[in-house]
Amino acid sequence: TRTLPPAPCARVKAATQNGDDNLFHTVLGLLNIETSVRAPALDLITDCRP
């Protein structure tokens, strides 16, 4: 089961300047894909998840 982050937290993170690397790692995080190439520090909403 996936839980989406709270909207206000995600909005604040989305308002910052981001790149393609951030998108890649954020999608991996949203889909709960654990892989050696995933860098949680580049996941824009890792701090927003419960």
What are the pLDDT digits (tens) for 7-39? 777 777 766 778 888 899 989 998 999 999 999
Q: What is the pTM of this model?
A: 0.69
In a domain, 34, yes or no: yes
Task: Please enumerate, as own/partner, the contacts of 41-49 that have beta carbons within 8 Å and a separation of 24 or more.
Answer: 44/10, 44/13, 44/14, 44/16, 44/18, 45/5, 45/9, 45/10, 45/13, 47/9, 47/13, 48/5, 48/6, 48/9, 48/10, 48/13, 49/3, 49/5
In a domain, 1, yes or no: no
In a domain, 17, yes or no: yes
Report how many domains make up the chain.
1
In a domain, 25, yes or no: yes
pLDDT score recorded for residue 34? 92
In a domain, 26, yes or no: yes
In a domain, 42, yes or no: yes
pLDDT score recorded for residue 11? 72
In a domain, 16, yes or no: yes
Question: Which structural domain range is residue 30 located in?
Answer: 7-48
